Amino acid sequence: MKKILLVATGGTIASQETGEGLAPEISAQGLLDFVPEIGRSFHVDSVEPFRLDSTNLTPTHWRLIAQCVRDNYVNYDGFVITHGTDTLAYTAAALSYMVRGSPKPIVLTGAQKPIGVDSTDSKVNLRDAFLCAASDMPGVSIVFDHKVILGTRAKKTRSKSFSAFSSINYPDLGVIRDGSVVRFIRQECLSEPEFSTRLCEGVALLKLIPGTDREVLDFLFERNEAVVIESFGVGGLPEAGGFYECIREWRGRGKLAVVTTQVENEGSDIGVYHVGHRLKSGLGVLEAYDMTTEAVIAKLMWILGRTSDQNLVRQMFYTPVAMDMFPR
Ligand code: ASP
């Protein structure tokens, strides 16, 4: 019998009505009690580092989850992490870097409806996550609505439907059908995972709108080591309004700028238009290409937690980790 550790962290899956909205109230064991066949099919232990709505999570909580996996790694065949769906894609990306190359499955799941209500998706997602955690599916993934999605490629794309997550610019790793995992892609892994829980939290995100004031960008650069700018289309910055000067100034002070796109699919290509071309050639701005914003943020925190050497940062940013970007 496979040994699986359940790391329960809260979210809708564990929520109950409080009279003031849903809040996570159900313990790890309480979740397992709703799906008794899991305990008959696997040897399950559980830990609960915290129990929160995932809106309340910070990188400190990512560290706690990574530490749970690290401290128990040798004793289990796989890990299931139950988590709120709202920031699950961020946690999945962060764990992909913090527990790099895991040969054992680390499977995140959650639900759109609490486990105690009729017509919930919690039970099927939990069951599927355990199946996946006991299968030959290395690395970090999300199991949701019968799909297995790479941890670095997931995005919450529906706020209410059961099919809450999409894999962005990358195929699903597999599906779960009639109680079996059908694997399409096997993540590459190391013989031992590389754990690193050091993160630099000084990473900010600016979503550009027509008419954004450059002072917003100044504000973010002043307080952070890196600013990710979600721009438009294949990527660029308005040519009026002092954005280029702003980037030049802050780059000169050693700050990092990354341009990505608000468009969900197909990624950036900032050299295409005049509004983007100079950013890369003249100002040393990095671009996200096909990476998700969630993965860009987590990757920057992970890289800047290890080095501040600009050349190394650039090299690490463009080196694919857990298939977060296509090699270039
Ligand atoms: N607000 C909840 C959370 O992220 C939503 C969910 O779990 O579906 O914790």
Q: What is the pLDDT of residues 14-36, one digit of tens each?
A: 999 999 999 999 999 999 999 99
Q: Are 67 and 24 in contact (CB under 8 A)?
A: no
Mean pLDDT value of segment 275-281: 91
Q: 76, 146, 147, 61: which is closest to 106 by C-alpha?
A: 76
pLDDT at res. 201: 98
- Which residues surround ligand 1 with Cβ inside 6 Å? 11-12, 53-55, 84-86, 110, 112
- Look at the chain and report how many structural domains it folds into: 2
Whether residues 173 and 313 share a domain: the answer is no
Residue 47 in 3-state DSSP? strand
Classify residue 321 by its DSSP letter: S
In a domain, 158, yes or no: yes
**In a shared domain, residues 111 and 142:** yes
Asked if residue 116 and residue 46 are part of one domain, the reply reads yes
The secondary structure element, H or E, covering residue 165 is: strand 165-167
Tell me which of 163, 195, 227 is where a domain ends: 195
**What is the predicted pLDDT for the residue at 173?**
98
Residues 44 and 138 in one domain: yes
Average pLDDT score over the chain:
97
- Can you give the CATH number for the domain in which 137 is found? 3.40.50.1170
Q: What digits encode the pLDDT tens for the residues 248-274?
A: 999 999 999 999 999 999 999 999 999
Last residue in a domain, options 145, 175, 195: 195
Ligand 1: which residue has its CA nearest to atom 7?
Answer: 84
- Same domain for 188 and 274: no
Does residue 105 sit within a domain? yes
Asked whether residue 322 is assigned to any structural domain, the reply reads no
Which of these ranges, 25-29, 78-82, 217-221, 282-286, has the smallest mean pLDDT? 282-286
Judgement on whether residues 190 and 215 belong to the same structural domain of the protein: no
Q: Are residues 219 and 280 in the same domain?
A: yes
Q: How confident is the model at residue 281 (pLDDT cuts 50, 70, 90)?
A: confident
What is the structure's pLDDT at 294?
Answer: 98
Residue 24 lies in a domain: yes
Atom of ligand 1 nearest to the CA of 11: 9
Structural tokens at position 165: 């997550």
- Does residue 234 sit in the same domain as residue 277? yes
% the chain with pLDDT above 70: 100
Q: Which two tokens stand for residue 182?
A: 């059908």
Q: Is residue 260 annotated as part of the catalytic site, yes or no?
A: no
Pocket test residue of 65, 86, 88, 121 for ligand 1, highest count of atoms within 8 A of CB: 86
Do 254 and 175 share a domain, yes or no? no
Confidence (pLDDT) at 328: 82
Q: Are residues 184 and 274 in the same domain?
A: no
Residue 282 above 90 pLDDT? no
255: Cα within 13 Å, side-chain hemisphere: 24
Same domain flag for 59 and 134: yes
Range of the domain at 152: 3-195
**Residue 280 clears pLDDT 90, i.e. is over it:** no
Alpha helices in the chain (DSSP H): 28-34, 36-41, 59-72, 88-98, 122-133, 214-223, 243-252, 274-283, 293-304, 310-317
- Confirm whether 136 is domain-assigned: yes
Average pLDDT over residues 80-98: 98
Task: Check pLDDT > 90 for residue 105.
Answer: yes
Q: How far is the CA of 86 from the centre of ligand 1 (A)?
A: 5
Give φ, ψ of 273 to 5 degrees: -110, 155
Asked, for residue 68, whether it belongs to a domain, the answer is yes
Q: Closest residue (by CA) to atom 8 of ligand 1? A: 85
CATH of the domain at 227: 3.40.50.40
What local confidence, expressed as pLDDT, does residue 141 receive?
Answer: 98
Question: Could you read off the pLDDT of 44-64 as tens digits, one per residue?
Answer: 999 999 999 999 999 999 999
How far CA 303 is from CA of 136, 137, 188, 308, in Å, comes to: 29, 26, 20, 8
Is residue 328 in a domain?
no
Contacts of 171 (CB under 8 A, 6+ apart): 184, 185
Protein residue with least CA distance to atom 3, ligand 1:
84
12, 82, 87, 152: which one is catalytic?
12
* 119 and 250 co-located in one domain: no
Which atom of ligand 1 lies nearest, measured to the CA of 86?
Answer: 4
- Are the C-beta atoms of residues 103 and 150 closer than 8 Å to each other? no
Taking the CA of residue 55 as reference, the ligand 1 atom at the shortest distance is 4
At 181 the pLDDT is 98
Residue 85 Cα to ligand 1 midpoint, Å, equals 5
Cα 191 to middle of ligand 1, angstroms:
34
Q: Which atom number of ligand 1 is nearest to the Cα of residue 110?
A: 7
